[in-house]
Amino acid sequence: MVQFGVIKIDDTSTLNFINFEWALNVSEFQLSLAKLPVVSPIFSTFQGDWQLEFNKANENLRGHRCTSLYLRLVSMKPGIKKIEAHCKFTVTGKQFEHCDELYFDSLARKEVGKETEFFRYLIVSDTTSGALHGKMYISSSPSRGAPMISSQEGDWSHDFSLLWRKSKLTDVCLVVGGRKFKAHKVVLAARSPVFLAMFEQKNSRESLINEVEIENIEPAVVKAMLKFFYTDEVDNLKDVAYGLLGAADKYNVPLLKSMCEKVLYDSVDEENAAYMLIQADRHCSHGLKDYIMQFMDDHLVKVVKTDSYKHLEKYHPALVMEMMRSFAIHKLKKVELMEKN
């Protein structure tokens, strides 16, 4: 039997901060026999209504069945137009502890008004017993709509992006690969703490000449990053996600980085897995890195024959050693689990 306990919302919660605890009671639970999904009661915050869901996952990682824990935004409260949320969670069970943090933008939902996946992580386990416990907080910046005065509705993002597209009142240029992209310092500084620190130094080269030299990033990637800065959107993200992940990491843009990681999860295959692993390791995408290692372990016979793996072996031997250690630890745990059963 699998059942959610009462969701307890901490009394320190405020309009922009919700702190809550949950418990998932598990009794003689085995994935192949469980009646899933199991959903929690809907609980409300100032921003909206939420729900947890425990369910089977399609992924089969490292020979284990997987389960997924979802936090869903069911609906937003009246007057709330957008939630930009930073969520940190800790989950503990009988034999593991998992900590992570993700970012969420309610306007990125594919179908507004329907239950929307906030985030998901995988629990890699064939059997679990006892209970799973979790603590989460959602720190958000809700945008409330003002009373309707006229039929006109403001959209600052549209207005700023219009200035950018028409190069109106721009005061800085990003120079990359012989191309120049005009922008506004205030927008760059608002979206990236790296740009903010750069422009706050009055005697820096960038502040004095109003140009920022960018190296090792393709012009198309810089253009996509600027589009995100002004609109929270990226055209054809799948085509630029690999390079954009690096740009998001370099300029410390967590939401953009999370968007890229989500696309890259679905792009991993035998041919590119090693290249993807290098990129994830280089830019500290720990969840993506773990997933790729698991994928490579499951498809190792085909992966080792690819050019990307040969490149990995030649230029990143330390990463290969780390990967092999991970494979060995996994196999040892699998043997121990089989012996216990």
The percent helix, strand, coil of the chain (3-state, each to 5) is: 40, 30, 30
> Is the peptide bond prior to 254 cis by the omega test (within 30 degrees of 0)?
no
Q: How far apart are CA 120 and CA 136, in angstroms?
A: 13
Q: How far apart are CA 290 and CA 184, in angstroms?
A: 37
Q: Tell me, what's the pLDDT at 23?
A: 63
Give the containing element (helix H, strand E) for 25. strand 17-30
Q: Tell me, what's the pLDDT at 48?
A: 73
Q: Which residue has the higher pLDDT, 303 or 135?
A: 303
Give the containing element (helix H, strand E) for 317. helix 317-340
Say how many residues make up the chain.
341
Q: How far apart are CA 256 and CA 223, in angstroms?
A: 13
CA 113 to chain centroid? 22
Q: Tell me, what's the pLDDT at 312?
A: 96
Residue 232: pLDDT above 50?
A: yes
Count Cα neighbours of 150 within 13 Å in the Cβ-side half-sphere. 3
Q: How high is the mean pLDDT of the chain?
A: 75
Q: Tell me, what's the pLDDT at 338?
A: 75
For 106-128, write each residue's pLDDT tens digit.
444 433 344 444 445 444 444 44
Contact 19, 137 (CB under 8 A): yes
Residue 66: pLDDT above 70?
A: no
For 246-285, write each residue's pLDDT tens digit.
999 999 999 999 999 999 998 999 999 999 999 999 999 9
What mean pLDDT do residues 193-205 have? 92
Residue 140: pLDDT above 90?
A: no
According to the per-residue pLDDT averaged within each range, which of 108-117, 239-248, 290-299 is highest? 239-248
Q: Tell me, what's the pLDDT at 149?
A: 37
Contact 211, 195 (CB under 8 A): no
For 34-61, write each residue's pLDDT tens digit.
566 777 777 776 667 777 777 765 555 4
Q: How far apart are CA 7 and CA 22, in angstroms?
A: 5
Q: Which of 142-146, 171-175, 197-201, 254-258 has the lowest mean pLDDT?
A: 142-146
Q: Tell me, what's the pLDDT at 161?
A: 77
Q: How far apart are CA 168 and CA 120, in angstroms?
A: 41
Q: Tell me, what's the pLDDT at 150?
A: 38
Q: Which two tokens stand for residue 191?
A: 């979206």
Q: Tell me, what's the pLDDT at 115?
A: 42
DSSP 184: -
Q: Tell me, what's the pLDDT at 277?
A: 96
Q: Tell me, what's the pLDDT at 50?
A: 75
Q: Tell me, what's the pLDDT at 152?
A: 43
Residue 210: pLDDT above 70?
A: yes
